[in-house]
Amino acid sequence: MGTHVGTSGWSYDHWEHVLYPSGTPSRQRLGCYVQQFDTVELNASFYRWPRDASFASWRRRLPEGFVFSVKAPRGLTHGKRLYAPEAWIGRMTSAWHELGDRRGVLLVQLPPAMERDDARLAYFLDLLPEWMKVAVEFRHHSWHHDAVYELLEHHRAAYCIMSGADLPCVLRATAPFVYIRMHGPDHHHLYGGSYSEQDLHWWADRIAEWEAAGKEVFVYFNNDGGGNAVRNAHTLRSYLGNY
């Protein structure tokens, strides 16, 4: 339980001198990352779902207590838009078994053009194993409705809370855990800018409220440019007293 703060991804060339020393080979970047954070959100899985052997390798390389969240593949979310998800669910479940006690949350990000379809979402959530934590990130405004929040609550799935340009920041907790994606404070461009100390203090207060309500909290910074995600994650952790 508690709160886990990390970043979306761990391997960026422009994080040299911020997270890892200059010249660090890409294969060694995860080792640098886990020395400073206890969780990460894998985003590369959105573009190409890794083999089970890769998940097993990550489990062996990650330290005890580290939690590894994974973004669902775009073939499922943006290609099929959750239609006929059985094959993908089989692959994701197999990978989740390989992660073992290092697994965190499966992030399911729906495309901006996908309008509300409660039946399709319910069918997908019904097929997921009960032991798999899942968070759903809605990008079309039609999904932001009480009936959708109730559907998520019924399946113990988290509504993904978002911070970013043109994204609604709805502070709704629909599961035993809270999932937050920090896409950057820039009002015009996603993934841009660095959060101010005032912004991060505000988020620390919200997280403390969820913790007091018994919620486990996952926070991932996605404003990777210039190492902003790393710096913001460190600052938020310091405000939460997690160092």
Match 């559907």 to its residue by tokens.
151
CA–CA dist 83, 64 (Å, integer): 36
Does the pLDDT of residue 242 top 60, yes or no?
Answer: no
**Residue among 125, 128, 240 nearest 180 (CA):** 240
Q: What is the CA radius of gyration of the chain?
A: 17
Instruction: Check residue 51 and give its pLDDT.
Output: 97
Angle, alpha carbons 167-173-174 (nearest 5°)? 110
Range in 33-37, 119-123, 136-140, 164-168 the model is least confident about: 164-168
Give the ranges where the chain is alpha helix by DSSP (H).
29-33, 52-61, 74, 86-99, 118-127, 146-154, 197-212, 228-240
- Rounded to an integer, the average pLDDT of 76-81 is 97
- Rounded to an integer, the average pLDDT of 94-104 is 97
Instruction: Check residue 243 and give its pLDDT.
Output: 36
Backbone angles phi, psi at 108, to 5 degrees: -110, 105
Instruction: Check residue 1 and give its pLDDT.
Output: 67
| pLDDT above 90 as % of the chain | 93
Q: Does residue 22 sit in helix, strand or coil?
A: coil
Would you state the structure tokens that stand for residue 46, as one six-digit string? 């959105």
Instruction: Check residue 187 and give its pLDDT.
Output: 81
Q: What does pTM read for this prediction?
A: 0.96
Instruction: Check residue 79 and give its pLDDT.
Output: 96
**pLDDT tens profile 170-180:** 999 999 999 99
**Residue among 134, 133, 156, 152 nearest 144 (CA):** 152
CA–CA dist 38, 43 (Å, integer): 17
Does the pLDDT of residue 102 top 80, yes or no?
Answer: yes
Instruction: Check residue 48 and give its pLDDT.
Output: 96
Q: Please report which confidence band the pLDDT of residue 166 belongs to, taking 50, 70 and 90 as the band edges.
A: confident
Distances (CA, A) of 142 to 32, 76, 187, 195: 41, 20, 21, 28
- Strand duo 67-71 + 103-109: pairing: parallel
- Rounded to an integer, the average pLDDT of 107-119 is 97
Contact 87, 115 (CB under 8 A): no
CA–CA dist 27, 120 (Å, integer): 39
